[in-house]
Amino acid sequence: MITRVVDMEGPFRSPSFLMPDATPDAFAATRTSRDPRFYNPATNELIFSFHSLIVQTPRNRILVDTCVGNDKHRPGLPEWHLRKGSYLADLTAAGLPAESITHVFCTHLHADHVGWNTRLLNGRWVPTFANAKYVMHRKEVEHFDHVRRTSNEAANHRSWDDSVQPILDAGQALLVDGDHEIEPGVRLKCLPGHTPGNCALCLDDGRQRAFLIGDTIHHPVQIERPQWSSNFCGDRAMSAKTRAAFVEDVADTGAWIIPAHFAPPSAVQIVGEQGGFWYRTDQK
């Protein structure tokens, strides 16, 4: 069972803000530009969701990506700055209180994927999920630790200090290598490019498969145009190569693809068409 809990959702910036190749003419030429679930032509804004996905198995409750968070100092993005959202209450309302989460998996360590790793308590950042192991790819942690030590980390909004380091200090981080298995049928798959240690969570119960892929695909238009990498990909060429290979691998397999930012219906299946790929949101 997979449950989606939303931190933020709605119109969020223009296509070219996210993807430099998505110029007005290029984006207008796509089928995705005519899908009102994912794009508002009146305002020229993509429809985005910032959500967590909670995977429930007989053994574990695995929360994938912790969104933007509350009280985080993000002046560069007013939508994220010092927020006061209802995320924790919404988790509880879904029957998934923070203390019940056994694992938190960060697909990568950008600020909008680690925000609820921690909460502000008596002036200190403490782990939000007190009983969870926080699963992070070792290469990802090493990369952003290096960024923190060698630059001002403006692109990551200094989220290391308030959302990653407190997890390391608390001893709750589980740093993994390669295609780590959390339990049978639940494993990580490395998909580098967006960040060096970018990973997906792959689910296979013997009947259906699903891939929770974080920012490997930000927006449905990148299924149609897998060569379009985002402005926030650390290695845009590798990101495009990884995305194109992934899209080709899962097309026409019936697997569900659930990225971190797709607005409802959020889960899609990829199908091959003459000259490219498309998405569908039903099982026909």
The pLDDT tens digits for 259-274 are 999 999 999 999 999 8
Cα-atom radius of gyration of the chain, to the nearest Å? 18
Give CA–CA dist 129/187, Å, rounded.
21
pTM of the model: 0.94
pLDDT of residue 277: 96
Taking residue 41's Cβ as centre, other Cβ atoms within 10 Å add up to 11
**The tokens of 202 are what?**
């792959």
- Contact indicator for 197, 141 with CB cutoff of 8 Å: yes
225-242 mean pLDDT: 97
Contacts of 17 (CB under 8 A, 6+ apart): 231
Q: How large a percentage of the chain has pLDDT more than 90?
A: 90
Query: pLDDT higher for 68 or 156?
Result: 68
Is residue 284 pLDDT above 50, yes or no? no
Query: pLDDT higher for 158 or 98?
Result: 98
DSSP of 51-70: EEEEEE-SS-EEEE---S-S
Fold of domain 2-280: Metallo-beta-lactamase; Chain A (3.60.15)
Burial status of residue 54 (CB atoms within 10 A of its CB: 0-12, 13-18, 19 or more): buried
DSSP of 107-140: SS--GGGTGGGEEEETTEEEESSTT-EEEEEHHH
Give CA–CA dist 266/249, Å, rounded.
20
- pLDDT (tens digit, 9 = 90+) per residue, 173-200? 999 998 899 999 999 999 999 999 999 9
- SS3 (DSSP) at 271: strand
Give CA–CA dist 15/28, Å, rounded.
10
